[in-house]
Each structure stands twice: as C-alpha cells, then as structure tokens.
Structure 1
Amino acid sequence: MNGIIDVNVWLSRWPARRLPYDDTPALVARLRELKVAQAWVGSFDMHLHRDIASVNKRLADDCNTAPDLLIPCGAINPMLPDWQDDVRRCAEQHGMRILRLTPGYHGYDLAHARFRDLLQRSIDRNLLLQIVVRMEDERTQPPLLRAKDLDLAPLEPIAAEFPTARIQLLNALHSPSAQQWLQRGIPPNVTFDIGTLEGTAGITRILKSLPPTQLCFGSHFPFFTWEAAELKLRESPLPTPLRQQITDSNARMLLQNG
C-alpha cells in the first residue's frame, strides 16, 4: 500500500517498558519500509515529563531528521503553569500545526475550564487538536502508571459550542462514551482514527454510523504493531476511493484546513 498517512504514531520511549522501534532512526526506517507517506508523531515523554518545552524541542529536532515523513504533534499539559507559552512555542517557534493531549495522564477531564481555554487557543492559532482517549488497556497497565479511558461525554456539547475547532480523537472507537455519541451523531468538526477499533470488519461496521470523511488511518505505532492497523483495512473490503479517503485524503484535508 502506498500513500498512507498515519495520524497516530509516537517517538521516544514508553516509560513502563521498551518497545520495538522506540528510537527515531529505527522507527523512520520501519515506516519507510511500510511505505508510510506521512506520520503524525507525538512524544511518549509527554506523559510524565513536566518540562513540556524540552519535550517539544526534542520532538521538533527528531522530526527535522525526516521532515518529509514526520509531522510533529506538540505536547500540551494544561495543568502545568505557563502551559499557554507551550502552545505559543509549538505554533511560533516549531511551526507545529497539531497539538496532542493525554488528559488521562495529566489529571483533568474535558469539562475542565482549562480545556475550554486550550480549545479556544487552538482555534485562534488554527491548530488541529488531537485528544488521546486511551494509551493502554487498563488491564495491562502497571499499578503505579494507571490512567482510565477518557470520558467523551463532556466533549459533546463543547464540540457543538465550538464548531470551528478541529478535534481528532485517537484510540477512541472502542469506548462506550464514543459509541453512545456515535448513536446521536458526531459533528463534522470531530474525527476519529482506527487505532483501537475492534472486531472483524470493524471499519465497515463503524462507517454505518460515522461519515467516511471523519475517519483516518491511525496505528498507535510503536505501542501497537503497525500491521494490526493494516489488517483492519484488509478485513474491510472498501472501494478504492473510500480506502484512499481514510488512508490519505481525510488527513490531508485536516492539515490543509490548518
């Protein structure tokens, strides 16, 4: 397969264990072997590090080693002092067009006032906001590194209130709150990836309740094997234009709108 844009990739090292391809040169080489055209990458360091400015500087430097492939997603922790400066640095110093949040590891939910502030700042700077709903299944999390799946219920009215915000939910389609929202209808400014989509022919099934313009290819690599996401494509026979939309066009449109 050629031309795949993977919107859910990570650099650096997961704090609980070593992963295959958890150094940048090896990850870049593997993505090129897989014919990935572009990978939107965040840093595993963002989960526990408090010096977010340094996390983003390292991320930017790593992405500059393969600028045709790696698109940096700046880390933001709105529970830290001066997080607003991190947003500014991402946009102005590093030229980042995407921010990535991990609320489960930073101790807030989507009803928090600082999230609304952050969402408005993403609009003001025309940034895509990625929100990670799950990093790891709770059943396999180390006892001292636990984070529950993010509840999306508070986001439903907020997404409607901020229709010009561009929100992408990563590792979300397994969650009950996402499934409930799907039944009521997802607004067009919210997109999903397939990272934790479960079940045989899952893409075919999810497209019955989600417009194809709102679904992107995301692997959660290297936390998950990249081939697991590829298998989801193979299990759901899709017409070529629809497959191209999910693996490429939708992601390109999100960045072109930025």
Structure 2
Amino acid sequence: MICDVNVYLSRWPFRRLPCDSTPELVRKLKQNDVTRAYAGSFDGLLHKDIRTVNQRLNDDCRSHGADLLIPVGSINPALPGWEDDVIACHEQWNMPGIRLHPNYHEYELSSPEVKKLFEMAAERGLFIQIAMRMEDDRTHHKLMRIPDVNFAALPGLMKEHQQLQVTILNGMKSLRGASLTRLTENPNLTIEIAMLEGVGGIENLMQQVPYEQILFGSYFPFFYLESSLNKLKESQLGMKIEEQITWKNAEHRFAKTP
C-alpha cells in the first residue's frame, strides 16, 4: 500500500510529460502499488478560472480514477471571489483539502487573504498543501523565473489553528537546517520526499524531522514515479517506519472518503 500525496493531472504548461493523460497516469500508479493519490491540477498554476479548473479535476478523478485519485482543489487568494472556490471544493465536490501555489499566484503567506484562507480551511476541516516550487530554477522558461515560496509566516499561521494539517510539497530541494527545523516544530506540519536528494536521503532527513511528519510524494508525472520509490529502497527504514511514511501517516492525517 502506498499513498502518494503529490500528484498532478492535466498538462504542464511548458512541455509534454510522459503519462500526462489521466488514464495513463492511473495505470502507472496502480502498476506500482499506489492505492491512494492526492491529485492537484497543473491548470491551477496559470488559469484564472479556478472554479472550472477544479470542476475538471474533480470530473477527471471520478471518471478515470474513482478508486484511486482524490482531488485537491487549487485556490488563488489573489483573485476576486476565491472564498467561493474554497466553499465549492468543500461543499460541491467534497474535497478533503486544497493546494496553494503562492509563487505562481504572486502573493505572500503573510497576506491578510492567506490568514482568512487558513481560517476557512480550519473551520471546514480541510488540509492545506503548499507547493514550494514546481521545477528547478535552472530549467525555468526565461519569461517565467519563479522564486521559491517564503515560509517565514507559516509557523505563526499554524499556531492560530492547532488542528490544521499543512503539507509542504516540493520543498526538500531548498529546505534545510534551521528553516526546516522551525517549520517542523509544529507536529501538524508534514513534508514529502519528491525532491529529496542523496543516497540514504530519508534516513538523513529523519535525523532532523520525525518520521511521523514525513510523507510519500512523487510529484508524478513531472518526476518519474520510480524516483520516489527508489528513495524507499536506498534507505534502511525497517517495515514499521516504511509503512508510516508510505501510507499510515497520510491515512491518519488526511483520510476522507470523497
């Protein structure tokens, strides 16, 4: 059993990816024993009609992966009426969480809109995923130089909502040292391993972050699914810890029947 918390549907804006059609993606996930995958949409990065993005995401998950894919709606609090998009994710499509891309949508986590968004998510029992980056800065299109998300305001936001679950996606390329320690002092903050590098990477990460706060994420199809699977093989975790990271931690924190 594997629960993947970092999957995307639709098309990456700048090139085609292997398995970027939903049926192909679902087939690949099932072939590799992924039994649950929390999926956002690449359309949520640049499209302004977020309601339609989330409608397509929901329909795609139900049409092609109802027994596997769980939709996680995009929210852009820099757009008018974003509150209605949160309500639709929760009430119309019964999504368990929302996914944020502050760097692509050009807002800071310290903004009043984000404070309100966190309040709405906490009231509705939604988890929040925040993507720190979407690609290595060396491969950015020259017209799309996108900086990493600044997480300085996140610990303060989470202290105001003790039960709110927040996961940082694609953060392990940049988050290190004191900045990572400060974030993970809150037990409701989790990170996933898609951009974790180095042999024995998970073992090394566990010296700084409790394994209860580490989740399996692949960032598939942007990254090869096998990349994250191999991270499990190259670290000596033991069955108990491997089960926690691959599915039990996510099941405990996020499980909700869509």
What are the residue-to-residue correspondences of 1:41-60 with 2, within 5 Å?
Answer: 41-60=39-58
Letter in 2 for 1:37: T
1:142-180 deviations in Å (ceiling 9; x for gaps):
01222111121221222223222210110112224x532
Quote the residue 2:27 is aligned against.
29
- For the aligned residue pairs, the C-alpha RMSD in angstroms reads 1.4
The aligned length equals 255
Quote the residue 1:102 is aligned against.
101
TM-score after normalising by structure 2: 0.95
Quote the residue 2:10 is aligned against.
12
Quote the residue 1:127 is aligned against.
126
Quote the residue 2:218 is aligned against.
219
Give the Å deviation of 1:199: 1.4
CA contact (8 A) 2:192 2:217 kept: yes
Are 1:67 and 2:66 matched, yes or no? yes
* Separation in structure 2 between the aligned mates of residue 183 and residue 254 of structure 1, nearest angstrom: 20
Give the Å deviation of 1:257: 7.9
SS in structure 1 at match of 2:27: helix
Give the Å deviation of 1:183: 3.3
CA contact (8 A) 1:21 1:27 kept: yes
* Separation in structure 1 between the aligned mates of residue 225 and residue 163 of structure 2, nearest angstrom: 32
Letter in 2 for 1:124: E
1:34-69 deviations in Å (ceiling 9; x for gaps):
111111100000000000000000000001022110
What are the residue-to-residue correspondences of 1:133-144 with 2, within 5 Å?
Answer: 133-144=132-143
Quote the residue 1:188 is aligned against.
187
SS in structure 2 at match of 1:37: strand
The percent of aligned pairs where both chains have the same amino acid is: 45
SS in structure 2 at match of 1:142: coil
TM-score after normalising by structure 1: 0.95
Quote the residue 1:254 is aligned against.
253
Letter in 2 for 1:29: R
1:207-238 deviations in Å (ceiling 9; x for gaps):
11111111100000000001110111111111
Give the Å deviation of 1:12: 0.2
What are the residue-to-residue correspondences of 1:154-193 with 2, within 5 Å?
Answer: 154-176=153-175, 179-184=177-182, 185-193=184-192
CA contact (8 A) 1:103 1:150 kept: yes
Unaligned runs of 5+ in 2: none
CA contact (8 A) 1:156 1:181 kept: no
CA contact (8 A) 2:96 2:256 kept: no
